[in-house]
Structure 1
Amino acid sequence: MSDFDSKRRQRFLGEDYFKWLLASFSENIASWEDRLTPIGDTENERKALTRGIVASDSYRRFLLMYTGGADISLLRDEFDSVVSAFEQLTIAERVHQADDRQPPLAFSEIGDYETAMQLIGFCYLLHRRALLPRIVAMFDPAYRGKDTLYEDLLAYELEGRVDVDSWFHDVPYRPLVFSLYREAKQECVDDITQYLEAWYPGMAAAVWHDGHLEAQKGGKGTYVGYWAIEAAAVAYLLELDDSSFRDHLLYPKDLADFARNFDPAKGNPPALQNNGPKTVRTGQVCPETGIWKAQGHHVPGVMVQQGERMPEVFAPDRSGAYRSQPALWEFERKA
C-alpha cells in the first residue's frame, strides 16, 4: 500500500487524480483573481459568475484536501478562505441581481443546500463557530425561518433562531432532522444511521453525484469526496456515541474526533519546561523546529516547523485499523 493510499480517507480517490485535481483547483482559483469570465451580458453578471467559479473551486478543493488525508488542524485554518470566497460570491450576486437578500446558494437545489449545511457543520467540527455569523449574513435574508435543519443547527450557537416545522428536502434529511428532537440517544443514533444510508441516493440530483465513476476510470471527473458533514456535526453537538456508524463510508469520523478532542485553550504554543521532555498535542502550535515523535505510536518521527500546527498521527487504532488520530508529540531532536 502506498503512502497516499494509507492516508486518503475514501477509497475512490486515486493519487494521480488527486494531484491533478488539486493543482487544477489551485490554478483556477489563482487565474480568476484578476480577470472575468467572458460569459454574461453585463459586467456585473460576469463578476457574479466569476465569483461563483472561485467559491465552488475553493470549497471543492477544501473537500478534496480532507478526502486526500490533509491534517485537520491545517484545514481549520484553510476554512477562512472558503467562507471568504462565498462572501465575495454573495456580494457579487446581490449587485448583479439588485437584491440584497440574494444568497450565494439556492436551498431549492439539493447540491447547494447540502453545501450550505456542510459549511455550518464545518464551523462546529473545526471549532470555528466565530464564522457562523458570517454564514448567517449570507443566508438569513433569504432563508431565515424557512428550514428546520438550518435553524436548528444554528441554534446550538446563536440566540434568537426561529422554531419552524418545515424543510426544503425531505429526502434524505428527514431522519437527521428527527434526530434533533429525540428524547433517547439511541433513537438519535438510529436516525443518523438511517440518514447515512439515505444520503448518497438522496443526492442523485446533485451535479457531483457518481463523479467517482469517471475518476476511477482515469477520467477527470467531479469527485472530491462524499461526506455527510452535517451528520458528524449533529453527532458531536448531541454528544452521541458514534461507534455503531463511525466506519460508514460517508461519515467523516476524523472530523468528529477532532471536534471532540480539540482544546481551544491549547491553540497557542505551550510553555515548555526546561527540565523533562518537550511535549505538545495535535492542533497546538509547534514551539520549536525539529523532529517530533508521537508518544505511544510505533511510527517514525516527523519534521515540524515552529509556528505550524502539530499534525495528527497515522497509526493503528485499537481495532488495528490505520487512521489519522490525535497524538501527544514529544520533541526528539533538532533538524
Structure 2
Amino acid sequence: MLYRYSGGGEVQVMAQGFPSTLSFWQEFATHHVAFHQSKECDGHLVPHLDLYDRDYWEALQLVCFAILLGHSDQLQAIMDLLVYENDDQDALLEDLVAPYLPGRPGSKVYTRQLPYRKTRKIFDAKPEQRPALMAKYLDEWYDASRREPYYDRHKSSYFPGYWSLEAAAITFILGIDDSSYRDKKFYPKDLVDYARSVGRPPVGAAEADASGAAILRVPAGQPAPRAGWWFSAAQQGSRRHFQQGSVFPDIEYSAYGATFWQWSPDQSSPAL
C-alpha cells in the first residue's frame, strides 16, 4: 500500500483495498499461531509484529492507514494482532487508537524512540500550539528517523517513499489546521484530505477553546457560535474571521461533500 501511494495510486482505490490487506495479516497470524502450537516449534514464541524491532514500521502503517482510509472499525482487529507476544504496547500506537477504542490502559513506553516519542508534545499541547509543533516535527522527522528501516531507502532499488503517516493521522484525530504545514516534505496531505472527506475526528478528540469547552465542527448554513477565525477542510486556505451569529457559507463543488467549519487553533490575524 505504501508503494502504491508513493507511485501516485488513487487514495480511494487504496481505501477499498485496505480490508484485504488486513485479512492477509490475519491469515498469517492464524498460521503463525498454529506453528507455535505445533511440534515443529522449539517453544520460542515471537510476536506477529515485533514492536521493538523493524516490524514496528509495518504496525504503524496498519494503524495509520486504517484511520486515514476510513477503516477505524478495523483498529480493534489490528491491535489484537499487535498484542500477541509483545510484552509492551507502544505509546504512540495507543495514543492513535485511544479515541476509537476507549478503555484501553494506554502505554508510556515508546518501543521505537525517535522520531515517534516527539509526538507526545503534540498530543499534550494546547490546540493553538499544535500546528507549530507539528511543523517542527515534520522538519525534524527524517533526520530523527536514522535508526528506522525506511531511512536512506532512496539509495535502494526498492524505494517506498518517505511519509510521516503518524503526522497525518494525528492531524486528523486532533482536528489540527494543517494549512501552515500541508506542503512540507514527508506530509501526506491528500491522505488527511481523504480522511476528512469520509469521516469526522473521533468523539473525544475535539479541539477545545481557552476555557476548555469543546468546539465541534459546524455545518454550513448554521451561525457561528462565537467570533473568531474558522476554517473548512473543504477548501485550502479557507481560514477566515466570522462574527458570532454570522452564517457559515457553503463551499460549492468541493470533493468533500457537505461543508463543515472548524475553530482554527491559530486565532492570530494574518500578517500584512
Q: TM-score, length-normalised on structure 1?
A: 0.54
Q: Deviations over 1:293-313 (max 9, x none)?
A: xxxxxxxxxxxxxxxxxxxxx
Structure 2 residue matching 1:200: 3-state secondary structure: helix
Does the 8 A contact of 1:185 with 1:240 survive in 2?
A: yes
- Give 1:102 deviation, angstroms: 4.3
Q: Post-superposition shift, 1:262? A: 1.7
Match of 1:241 in 2: 177
User: Are positions 1:250 and 2:189 aligned together?
Assistant: no
Matched, 1:77 2:19: no
**Cα distance between partner residues in 2 of 1:103 and 1:198:** 30
Higher helix share: 1
- How many Å separate the matches in 1 of 2:192 and 2:121? 20
Q: Which moved more, 1:158-167 or 1:123-132?
A: 158-167
What count of residue pairs does the alignment treat as equivalent?
A: 203
- Would you say 1:172 and 2:115 are equivalent positions? yes
The residue that corresponds to 2:51 in the other structure is 107
Which SS does the other structure have where 1:233 is aligned? helix
Give TM-score scaled by structure 2 length.
Answer: 0.66
RMSD over aligned CA atoms reads 2.8
Partner of 1:191: 133
SS in 2 for 1:157: coil
Offset at residue 185 of structure 1 (A)? 1.7
Match of 1:225 in 2: 161
Question: Aligned to 1:163, what secondary structure does the other structure show?
Answer: coil
Where do residues 1-335 of structure 1 align in structure 2 (5 Å cutoff)?
62-98=1-37, 102-109=46-53, 111-143=54-86, 146-182=89-125, 184-214=126-156, 221-262=157-198, 326=255
Structure 1 stretch displaced more, 149-158 or 248-257: 149-158
Give the AA of the match of 1:94.
V
Which residue identity is paired with 1:178? K
Alpha-carbon separation, structure 2, partners of 1:67 and 1:235 = 20
Q: Which residue of 1 aligns with 2:223?
A: none
* Percentage of pairs with the same residue: 29
Superposed displacement of residue 128, structure 1: 0.5
1:66 and 1:211 map into 2 onto residues whose CA distance is: 16
Contact 1:94–1:102 (8 Å) recurs in 2: no
Gaps of 5+ in 2: 38-42, 201-235, 238-253, 258-272
* AA partner of residue 194 (structure 1): K
SS in 2 for 1:87: helix
| Distance in 1 (alpha carbons) for counterparts of 2:140 and 2:45 | 32
Q: Distance in 1 between matches of 2:95 and 2:44?
A: 24
For structure 1, the 5+ residue unaligned runs are: 1-61, 215-220, 265-316, 319-324, 329-335
